[in-house]
Amino acid sequence: MTKIRIGVIGAGLIGRKHLRKLAEHGDYELAGIADVNAEQVAAEQPGARIFADYRKLLDEARPEAVIIASPNQLHAENGIACARAGIHILIEKPVTDTLETAAGLIAEVRKAGIRSLVGHHRRHHTQVKALRTLLGQGRIGDVVGVSAIWATHKPADYFKAAPWRSQAGGGPVLINLIHEIDFLRFAVGEIVAVEAIATNRQRGFAVEDTAATLLEFENGALGTFFLSDCAVTPWTMEQGLGEAPEFPFSGQSSYRLMGRRGAIEFPSLDQWTQEGGAQDWNKPIRAQANHAASIDPYVAQLDHFRDVVRGVTPSLQPVEDGARSLLVTLAIAEAATARRRVDLRERYAALGQGGQAAT
C-alpha cells in the first residue's frame, strides 16, 4: 500500500520525538519539516526538506497529513491552514490554547471534512485499553468514585530553562493535569462539574505548585485529584507506566477506581473483589492481578493515525473531543482561582455545539 506523505510542523522536543518514530515507521514518508529555526533543524535532519514557513510546507511539499507539534498558541492557526488545504492532522495536546481558538479550529475541520486526531498518547497504552475493557465488563460494578495522585518534584533547572513555567499558566494544572483529565474522561466518563483549591506556598512563584480538585462525572461517580510538582513521590502516571526514560519506573499505581462490587488500581490493574460478588464489609476482599503488555504509545498512535487517514477506522480523539479535555482543565484553573464550583454542561454545548466524547 502507498505510504502516507506526512509533514511535521514544529521540531522542538515533542516534534523531534515524532520525527524519530516516523523514521522507524514503514507506513509513512516524510514530506518535509517546518520550523522557524530552519538552519538548526536542517543540520539535525540531513536529507529532509526544511521550511522556515509552515505555509510553504503545505503548498510546496503537499503532504497528505501533518503532525502539528508547534507551540500551543499556534495550534489553531496551523490546524486551520491544514484544514483549508484538505490535509489531515495529528495535533499535539492541548488541542489549542483557548476555547475560542478551539471552537474556530473545530468549525474549520468540520467544514473541510478532514480527519483529525489529538495527541493524547496515553489513550493508546494497552493498560488503558485493558482498564476500559475491565470497566466495560462490569468487573467492579458501577464506578462510584476515583482517587488519584500526580505528585513529583520538578528540579530548579526545569524552571531556569523556561522561566515562563514559574508564571501564570505555567503551573502543574495547565501543564500536567490536562493529561490526567483526558485519561479520566476516556476511562471513567465525561466530567460535568469541578471544584478546586490551589496554593503556591512551597515555591512562592506567581503560579500554583500544589492543587486539589473535586470532580463530578456524568455517570454519577465522584473523584478527587491531588496534584503537586514539589513533592517527592512514586505516584505519577509516567513513573507507574515507565513510558519515558526520563521518568524512572516505579511501578506504583497512582489511581484507585472504586465500584459497587470492587476496585481497580491503575496502572497495575490489580483488581479487588469479594468472593461470589459479595458486597459486605464483614467479608474479606482479595486481589486479582490483570496483565497488559507495555507498548510504545507513540508508535501505536501513529498506527492509529495511519488507519484514520486511510478511512479504515474513526478517530479515537477528534479535535472536538480534545477541546473537551482543554475545557475541563481550564475550568479547574478557574475554580481554583475563584474558589467555587464550575458546572461544565452549558460550556460543552457552547463549544462547537457540544461535539461528542469518544466512546
- pLDDT tens-digit map of 324-334: 999 999 999 99
Cell numbers standing for residue 298: 507513540
pLDDT digits (tens, 9 = 90+) for 63-109: 999 999 999 999 999 999 999 999 999 999 999 999 999 999 999 99
Mean pLDDT of 344-348: 95
Count of residues in the chain: 359
pLDDT digits (tens, 9 = 90+) for 285-323: 999 999 998 899 999 999 999 999 999 999 999 999 999
In which element (H, E) is residue 212 found?
strand 210-217
Q: How many other C-beta atoms are found inside a 10 Å radius of the C-beta of residue 222?
A: 15
Question: Could you tell me which residues come within 8 angstroms of residue 133 by beta carbon, excluding any fewer than 6 positions away?
Answer: none
Cell numbers standing for residue 45: 535532519
Distance between CA atoms of 275 and 283, rounded to whole angstroms? 8
Distance of CA 296 to the CA centre of its chain: 15
> Residue 357 pLDDT more than 60?
no
pLDDT band at 352, cuts 50/70/90?
A: low
The closest of 302, 224, 292, 289 to 258, measured between CA atoms, is 224
The closest of 135, 132, 65, 127 to 251, measured between CA atoms, is 127
The helix/strand/coil state of 140 is coil
Helices 319-338 and 178-187, axial angle in degrees (round to 10)? 120
What pLDDT does 162 receive?
A: 84
- Residues 66 and 58 sit within 8 Å (Cβ to Cβ): yes
Residue 195 phi/psi, 5° resolution?
A: -135, 155
First and final CA of the chain: distance in angstroms?
29
> Residue 230 pLDDT more than 80?
yes
pLDDT band at 353, cuts 50/70/90?
A: low
- Residues 41 and 51 sit within 8 Å (Cβ to Cβ): no
Residue type, 334: E
The helix/strand/coil state of 343 is strand
User: How many angstroms separate the Cα of 267 from the Cα of each of 9, 149, 199, 215, 271?
Assistant: 32, 12, 28, 20, 11
pLDDT digits (tens, 9 = 90+) for 244-276: 788 899 999 999 999 999 999 999 999 999 999
pLDDT band at 20, cuts 50/70/90?
A: very high
- Residues 9 and 34 sit within 8 Å (Cβ to Cβ): yes
In which element (H, E) is residue 332 found?
helix 319-338
The closest of 202, 208, 186, 184 to 194, measured between CA atoms, is 184
Mean pLDDT of 185-203: 97
> Residue 358 pLDDT more than 80?
no
> Residue 167 pLDDT more than 60?
yes
